[in-house]
Structure 1
């Protein structure tokens, strides 16, 4: 199968071709491998290639709703038995997984053919994908720019036409940010919809979830139909299945909705004008489709929300670093930024951590009250188009200061000048809209409705109340029909 034929179909379409006998799983895999070989020298999206076992799998009978479709998983949390889970870090070079994660099992049961793992920042800690261990991933729309993060390798691979869909995860925007940067659709499921077993109960106190990035809405819906559902080895939630599948929701237009629009953020009151223009155009389109759109925002202290997002994250990184050190990893196996975050995490008291986690309910309540008045919250997905690679890298001066403090073992003083806090807030300033859905456990989606004058994609985010995945798919399907993006592809 030629590449131009291969990319004309999404995952659902490719699976249909296989089911009807018009193409084989082996032919699809070879098309995907050929495309990866052609663009990987430019992209650097894939950290681990698994061509040989994939070819063996493709040659055997496959069953499931997506049987025969080539697929890539994210090299973070999506563990495969017998395969190293690098997590974007040198420290995990020997971390061979003992078992498949539940999501990997469900992807395999759906008939997908996994042939690689995609690049991610160290421990998924940044909104760009530039790990020292594997090098930066480039955005297919402009190779000088980032594809976003932390699912940047997956997004770059899908946007470049290697696969129609790829595994992703989202603990602070890591599905939606790269979807916006790469012109893809990305839906973060709500808390408890997709299980995290068998080795974990929840990731990051329930704020991090697994999903995919795709070119079409129906692919994401079909994937969530595959992933959703309770896993008895991954408490504490019992998931209530929707009455119909998410794929059915895509072709079902939503009722007229009341949508509140937030333009600015306390972390960034000057978004890119192209992003605000895209938000206004989306408002006009929604109005034309019969929805009521008005400016409104949840009564949330966004600076406090940022702090409450960061404090548990710092503690989590400190715990991860200490665990890996106990297993033999050395200081040089971690990036400097990771060591700084871990040092701050170790100085956080149990009382401070408990207070931050306790305030998550304050944000839940505020968003719940907003959703009593509005069906959906609409924002830009990110405050600008995809940054250039290196735009948010730690400066030489910041790195020198951090090394001095770490070498003196003065972790409790590491941010005495506020330098680290300023750097972190600088990194959050271009992605100020996404963390709310994570802390509150709400489903949220980035829809690739627009492009900036320079051609870079622009995503628009919608946040729904609990159980709102079907509503998001219905609205996204309606917008996809009204303003199609599927044929917009990078020239790479």
Structure 2
């Protein structure tokens, strides 16, 4: 068995996923070396963070014995504990109700992840069923932020973000229905891309999720890892209801060319709720200066869509779909859910969903689709639109607890993430990049939004920004070496 030395840990912690795969290809390290290093870091660091809640280390060790293939051959990886199925392994969605559930098959995304060469170690913590931008499930307890354990790591991919920021793994699976890739990326100082509608398949067992508003991808420390991961997993299955246009050239290859002058719109206004926190405003202004120094043209623009109204309509869809999901999960487990099975917010959300008429549901779908159209039209003149990822700095741990059973009160707090869901319902690609860390060790992210199908412009701009800001060299208080 590999002896995990301090030199090996340092090499692992300082390398992104593509660099680790290159070390395997050139036989400077073995897949087993990387797996054992990842396991040692999880065992050492995770008691302080609670990010990795399902550990399947022996499966990773077994997989490491096979010569790796794919662009990420031999690189350790963690799945999120929601949705993606991995044959023969547990999946709980953060629910005690599902503690004995075992996946019958691999989802298409997991097949592609394996084909890319990743070695799966287990699953990361999520809030119960995901509709929270914190990560504090009853079943596993809260995940802590490696930058500052008093603040949230974000959610719902909070476990993934904490694990990547602490360098337990170089990247991890994340998914996003209202900011759940971008918010934890912002809170933990990472790169988080929500791709265009139709870029990622839900198949084969699921055809659609919230009318194409949910996206599955990853959180990373470097833009190039995000681009290469997108190259590895993107693309529809036959019969998918949404299909994004394929790029003429791979996203990783396109990073070699800096974008020409871009027209970048930006906003200084929150759609509703309190104004931007002073630290967020300062980070925005610094980002605008950076973009101008890179040769881009910035232009202030107030988004001309009532996002607050759209938010409540979007949550009508969420409530109905959540109630239906709970019924499907109950059928798979073999008994109905009762109130004690769910956090109070989720119980109230499902109850509300069941109370809505089919006519009301149809009206909410129509309103969301109209808002989607209006957002795309409003932003069409810009190559990129810039917003803060969150209007406030990361909230204290406990702020996003789902023990609050007042559905409207809980959802009203999401004004922090008012610029998140807008690009789920519109299907536009949106990328959070880590631009700042405050004096209180609170990371701040900025969101770059592009035209549908144009992840390439966002990634190329983000690479320009990374080259200057060197965020991949920042290290939180709790991290490998």
Count of aligned pairs between the two proteins:
469
Give 1:323 shift: 3.0
1:377 to 380, 385, 394: 385
1:288 aligns with 2:296: no
CA deviations 1:293-328 (Å, max 9, x no partner) are 121032110111111221100111111223334431
Please identify, of 166-175 and 386-395, the stretch whose mean Cα deviation from structure 2 is larger: 386-395
1:221 to 227, 234, 242: 227
Give 1:425 shift: 0.4
| 8 Å CA contact retained: 1:88, 1:131 | yes
Where do residues 12-31 of structure 1 align in structure 2 (5 Å cutoff)? 12-31=18-37
1:243 to 212, 231, 248: 248
Q: Show the counterpart of 2:374.
A: 366
1:487 aligns with 2:473: yes
1:4 to 7, 10, 17: 10
| 8 Å CA contact retained: 2:345, 2:407 | no
| 8 Å CA contact retained: 2:81, 2:91 | yes
Q: Show the counterpart of 2:58.
A: 52
| 8 Å CA contact retained: 1:154, 1:166 | yes
CA deviations 1:381-413 (Å, max 9, x no partner) are 011222111123367xxx5xx5xxxxxxxxxxx
Give 1:372 shift: 2.7
Mind listing any 5+ residue stretches in structure 2 that lack a counterpart? none
| 8 Å CA contact retained: 1:251, 1:477 | no
| 8 Å CA contact retained: 2:195, 2:430 | yes
Once residues 410 and 441 of structure 2 are traced to their aligned partners in structure 1, the CA distance between those partners, rounded to angstroms, is: 28
Q: CA 1:178/1:464 → structure 2, altered by over 3 Å: closer, same or farther?
A: same
Mind listing any 5+ residue stretches in structure 1 that lack a counterpart? 403-418
Where do residues 121-160 of structure 1 align in structure 2 (5 Å cutoff)? 121-160=127-166
Where do residues 5-404 of structure 1 align in structure 2 (5 Å cutoff)? 5-232=11-238, 235-326=240-331, 327-331=334-338, 332-393=340-401
CA deviations 1:339-391 (Å, max 9, x no partner) are 11111111111111111111223222222222332111110001122211112
| 8 Å CA contact retained: 1:201, 1:236 | yes
CA deviations 1:132-151 (Å, max 9, x no partner) are 01110000001122110000
Once residues 329 and 69 of structure 2 are traced to their aligned partners in structure 1, the CA distance between those partners, rounded to angstroms, is: 38
Please identify, of 165-174 and 450-459, the stretch whose mean Cα deviation from structure 2 is larger: 450-459
| 8 Å CA contact retained: 1:259, 1:377 | yes
Please identify, of 472-481 and 381-390, the stretch whose mean Cα deviation from structure 2 is larger: 381-390
Give 1:333 shift: 1.8
Once residues 11 and 268 of structure 2 are traced to their aligned partners in structure 1, the CA distance between those partners, rounded to angstroms, is: 40
Once residues 385 and 32 of structure 2 are traced to their aligned partners in structure 1, the CA distance between those partners, rounded to angstroms, is: 43
Once residues 242 and 90 of structure 2 are traced to their aligned partners in structure 1, the CA distance between those partners, rounded to angstroms, is: 29
Give 1:238 shift: 4.1
| 8 Å CA contact retained: 1:448, 1:458 | yes
| 8 Å CA contact retained: 2:372, 2:426 | yes
Once residues 186 and 410 of structure 2 are traced to their aligned partners in structure 1, the CA distance between those partners, rounded to angstroms, is: 23
Give 1:60 shift: 1.4
Once residues 236 and 289 of structure 1 are traced to their aligned partners in structure 2, the CA distance between those partners, rounded to angstroms, is: 39
Give 1:239 shift: 4.4
| 8 Å CA contact retained: 1:265, 1:302 | no
1:268 match: secondary structure: coil
Please identify, of 36-45 and 91-100, the stretch whose mean Cα deviation from structure 2 is larger: 91-100
TM-score, structure 2 length as denominator?
A: 0.95
1:468 aligns with 2:454: yes
Q: Show the counterpart of 1:412.
A: none
1:37 match: secondary structure: helix
| 8 Å CA contact retained: 1:120, 1:129 | yes
1:421 aligns with 2:408: yes
1:204 match: secondary structure: coil
Once residues 24 and 371 of structure 2 are traced to their aligned partners in structure 1, the CA distance between those partners, rounded to angstroms, is: 46
| 8 Å CA contact retained: 1:91, 1:329 | no
CA deviations 1:122-162 (Å, max 9, x no partner) are 11110000000111000000112211000000000000010
Once residues 392 and 134 of structure 1 are traced to their aligned partners in structure 2, the CA distance between those partners, rounded to angstroms, is: 15
Once residues 122 and 311 of structure 1 are traced to their aligned partners in structure 2, the CA distance between those partners, rounded to angstroms, is: 19
1:459 match: secondary structure: strand
Q: CA 1:420/1:241 → structure 2, altered by over 3 Å: closer, same or farther?
A: closer
Once residues 21 and 144 of structure 1 are traced to their aligned partners in structure 2, the CA distance between those partners, rounded to angstroms, is: 41
Once residues 59 and 206 of structure 1 are traced to their aligned partners in structure 2, the CA distance between those partners, rounded to angstroms, is: 38
Once residues 222 and 14 of structure 2 are traced to their aligned partners in structure 1, the CA distance between those partners, rounded to angstroms, is: 11
